[in-house]
Amino acid sequence: MIEACIFDLDGVVVDTAKYHFIAWRALAEELGFEFTHQDNERLKGVSRMQSLEILLEIGGLQFSEPEKLAMAEKKNTLYVSYIEKMTPEETLPGVEKFLQELRDSGIKIALGSASKNAPMILERIQLSGMFDAIVDGNSIIEAKPNPEVFLKGAEELGVLPESCVVFEDAIAGIEAAQHANMYSVGIGDLETLGFADLVIPGFDGYTVERLMKELKAPFLFSKSGKA
């Protein structure tokens, strides 16, 4: 029985990839090479330092650890200047309604994100209160596809991994959910995420009942919600 849902943040709840792109591209420009939208795809779900490694590999450049830390810090300062201005309107379509329906039904909700900026983003889009547990880049050691972030989420919620559904837009995130022995729902296209238990384009028009049917997994409703 499904008792909890764990949500990735970037690309599932909000579209922050565009801000990451602007900030990484500015760094690449400063270093004298081009960073494309296609390159940016490789950074989805990847931690900040790993993203920098990929970026430097694209540029064919090498730096010392202190230099890399300074670059990541600079990129983050620019990124934060964008996300600081985020508003609730930037929450992806249908997400808030879906979260509310889960809450009304007594299904527990956790965030499982690699981002160290997750608390600030949730605050800006005014969704912090929807989550019973928040596991982010500040509280994990291992990056996805390691299941740590989701296993911690389940532990904080007090549920077994097999009673959780993970919503993810990144390949590494779906892999992490599978390693954690959780149900996985890919947010995006079938071509990329087809190995997940279910793939949906987004939450717009999605109800908990529809999810339950398509996932072929029963939910344990502890409150009489509208589901």
- List residues binding ligand G6P (CB under 6 A): 10-11, 20, 43-48, 51, 76, 114-117, 137
HEC profile of the chain: CECEEEECCECCCECCHHHHHHHHHHHHHHHCCCCCHHHHHCCCCCCHHHHHHHHHHHHCCCCCHHHHHHHHHHHHHHHHHHHCCCCHHHECCCHHHHHHHHHHCCCEEEEECCCCCHHHHHHHCCCHHHCCEEECCCCCCCCCCCCHHHHHHHHHHCCCHHHEEEEECCHHHHHHHHHCCCEEEEECCHHHHCCCCEEECCCCCCCHHHHHHHHCCCECCCCCCCC
Write down the least CB distance from residue 117 to ligand G6P, Å. 4
Query: Does residue 39 touch Mg ion according to CB under 5 A?
Result: no
Between 12 and 99, CB nearer to ligand G6P:
12
CB closer to ligand G6P, 170 vs 227 = 170
Residue nearest to Mg ion (CB): 11
Shortest spacing between CB 157 and Mg ion, in angstroms: 20
202 CA to centre of own chain: 13
CB nearer to Mg ion: pick between 122 and 227: 122
Which residues pair with residue 134 across a beta bridge?
Answer: 111
Total residues contacting Mg ion (rule CB under 5 A)?
Answer: 6
Among the listed residues 3, 10, 175, 197, the single contact to Mg ion using CB under 5 A: 10
Of 130 and 149, which CB lies nearer to ligand G6P in the complex structure? 149
User: Which of 39, 169, 175, 197 is close enough to bind Mg ion by CB under 5 A?
Assistant: 169
In the annotation, is 8 catalytic?
A: yes
> Does residue number 193 form part of the binding site for Mg ion (CB under 5 A)?
no
Residue 175 interacts with Mg ion (CB under 5 A)? no
Least CB distance to ligand G6P at residue 43 (A): 5
Q: Can you give the binding site for Mg ion, defined by CB under 5 A?
A: 8, 10-11, 45, 169-170
The set of catalytic residues is 8, 10
